[in-house]
Amino acid sequence: MKKKNLCYVEPKIKANLFEVQQVNEHEKLIFGSDKKSGLKIILAIHNTTLGPSTGGTRMAFVSEETAVEEVLRLSYAMTFKCAIIDEPFGGSKAVVIGDPSKPKSKKFLHALGDFIESLGGAFLTGVDMGLSLEDAKIIAERTKYIFNSKGYSGTTTAHGVFKGIKETVLYALGKDNLAGVSVAVQGIGNVGSTLVDLLLAGGAKVFIADVEPNKLEKYANVATIVSNDEIHRIPCDVFAPCAVGEIINDATITELRCKIIAGGANNQLKDETKHAKKLHEMGILHAPDFVINAGGVCHGMCEVKGVDISHAIQKTDLIPGILRTVYDRSKKTNTPPLHIAYEIAYEKIQSKKK
């Protein structure tokens, strides 16, 4: 796994699949299908040094190539997310190829459950984008390895992000509270909406955007609504991406007008080596995504372990300390925080091998 910066390297998906799998040292790339139900699923298991793999199962109307790209990258991030927060699990991710807006038959969901069960616990999962909690209940009729009985992990993730923002504001701006701090939140879903509530309660000045305008309506009198295309350009203290990944790319990075990037979205940087270095050079402090949004892993693992979800909220208290360690080492070595976070997580994985 050891390579420069430990950052994810985008493989050439059109190449030999075994070569694609080996670029970031994934252990398994699994394709599943069921002709009767129409199920098509692609699963990547990255690294199981710390324990059995865990990661969400999402449904998306995408090409096979795009699905492979998603499972490879997101499973890689999950490995490091589990390691950094000291959870004894590895990283995985599954994408079901199909239109999530169309009704899903019980036969289809049962086939998905059968696929998960056939792996014998090597893949511990919960529903992600495109699949609902009701879907999870039907899937669970056929497998004991899906965990969503206690709801979505968005609330727990948001609490961790909020604590991470407070720590990052303290580190970068010297403010021990969020009163008057301006935060631009992109994406008002399960994570973003909870984060906005916490920010408003903390006295922050909040800007919000989402591709679905109806999600913004309840905040019309307490936050400033801007377009989704403009949110990253807003002059602010903190830009908090909580929607799609790769929002920081060649086109957007020079348009940023923030001092801090700290949000719940996964894979925020299109090129983790180049864009992390560019942000560092620009003087923008980036809270590594797989650190600040690790609360979601804590939530899921509470279900796996059979303990109350309150333990997950408590474990998010670790996030500020981890970020502080990352920032201190980053400053000392003049290395982007994301690269430092990968190093720390990698050290934990390697110590398990000894």
Residue 122's alpha-carbon distances to 97, 272, 295, in angstroms, are 21, 28, 22
As a whole number of angstroms, the distance between CA 325 and CA 346 comes to 15
Give me the residue label for tokens 């290395």. Answer: 335
Angle made by CA atoms 210, 172, 296, in degrees to the nearest 5: 45
Give the span between the Cα atoms of 31 and 53, in whole angstroms: 16
With residue 292 as reference, give the H or E element that holds it.
Answer: helix 289-292
Cβ neighbours of residue 169 closer than 8 Å, sequence gap 6 or more: 175, 178, 181, 237, 238, 260
Give the separation between CA 92 and CA 96, rounded to whole angstroms: 14
User: At 353, which amino acid appears?
Assistant: K
Token readout for 154 is 């968005």
Residue type, 268: Q
**Is-catalytic flag, 93?**
yes
In degrees rounded to 5, what are phi and psi of residue 249?
Answer: -145, -175
Sign of the torsion formed by the C-alpha atoms of 158, 48, 146 and 135:
positive
The one-letter code for the residue type at 124 is L
| Distance separating alpha carbons of residues 142 and 84, to the nearest angstrom | 32
Which amino acid, residue 98? G
Which of 35, 81, 93, 163 is the catalytic position?
93
In sequence order, which residues have a C-beta less than 8 Å from that of residue 296 and are 6 or more positions away? 153, 154, 156, 157, 160
Q: Count CA atoms closer than 13 A to 80's CA, side-chain side.
A: 30
User: Catalytic site residues?
Assistant: 93
